[in-house]
Amino acid sequence: MFFVSAFAQEKELDTKHIISIQAGVAFPSDELKDANQNDVNTTNAASAASGITAGFDYQRNISKYFGINVLLRAYTFPVDENTTLEEFMDDPSASYTIDSEPYALGFLGLGFTVQSGGFIQAYLSPFVGYGGMRSPEIEVRETVGVNYEKMTRDYSSDLKVMYGGDFGVRVKLTKVLLLGINAEYLASQDFEFDGDVSVQQNNDPKQASPYEFNQSFSTFSLALKIGFSF
């Protein structure tokens, strides 16, 4: 009796492995979107705009309805330069320009999946892992007549625990190919950033000073997901 039951369960589990890639749009939380307002020293924060995400997943099914998965994610969020630059404009007679790199985040996590069976599959995957963020390098130029001042800043964070979850729907186009829509929420503890702020006026030597700050992070993303099962 046990042998028959085990054989039937194994036969039902016709897909043991799923490898997926995804890409889509990501929306930062207010902590990052309004970073200038949340940081005490506003010259050391940068507002973020909506960005993009890409990722890789490996899922090992342990039954028709449960699986264990490993996921790798990358996020980038461009700086909202107009909003950020407003924080530097302390002289109405001066002209200002700004150059910036995006926020960048990497994450590696482990989770488990609860899923439905059939041609159309719905799934939910909570996960936890470690991630690191790079706060963007920013260069601001202030010009008043012949006077010229340039400020630059660049920060990187340590690794922090991150957590979140995926939920979505995928369709079995063939026995091997899957196509779906994936929604994801990802959040972190406060990242601790270390970096430098450098100021140079006219042709004087550059003056650099260290600066530290904390920045929490969370994002919601929507992505197109392509999977291969075997």
SS3 track for 169-212? EEEECCCCEEEEEEEEEEEECCEEEEEEEEEEECCCCCEEEEEE
Mean pLDDT in residue range 6-20: 68
Is residue 5 scored above 80 in pLDDT? no
Q: Give the pLDDT confidence of 84-100 residue by residue, as tens digits.
A: 888 778 888 889 989 99
Asked if the structure places residue 3 within a domain, the reply is no
The tally of domains found in the chain comes to 1
Asked if residue 76 is part of any domain, the answer here is yes
Q: Measured in whole angstroms, how far is the alpha carbon of residue 49 from the centre of its chain?
A: 12
Q: Which domain holds residue 70?
A: 26-229
pLDDT tens digits, one per residue of 148-178: 888 888 777 788 999 999 999 999 999 999 9
Residue 10 lies inside a defined structural domain of this protein? no
pLDDT surpassing 50 at residue 220? yes
CA distance linking residue 67 with residue 113, whole number of Å? 5
In a domain, 70, yes or no: yes
Q: pTM of the prediction?
A: 0.85
Q: Coil, strand, or helix at residue 2? A: helix
* CATH classification of the domain holding 216: 2.40.160
Does residue 30 belong to any structural domain of this protein? yes
CA dist 154 and 191 (Å) reads: 15
Given a cut of 90, is residue 12 above it in pLDDT?
A: no
Q: What percent of the chain has pLDDT over 70?
A: 90
In a domain, 84, yes or no: yes
Q: Is the pLDDT of residue 13 over 90?
A: no
On whether residue 45 sits in a domain, the answer given is: yes
Q: Has residue 4 been placed in a domain? A: no
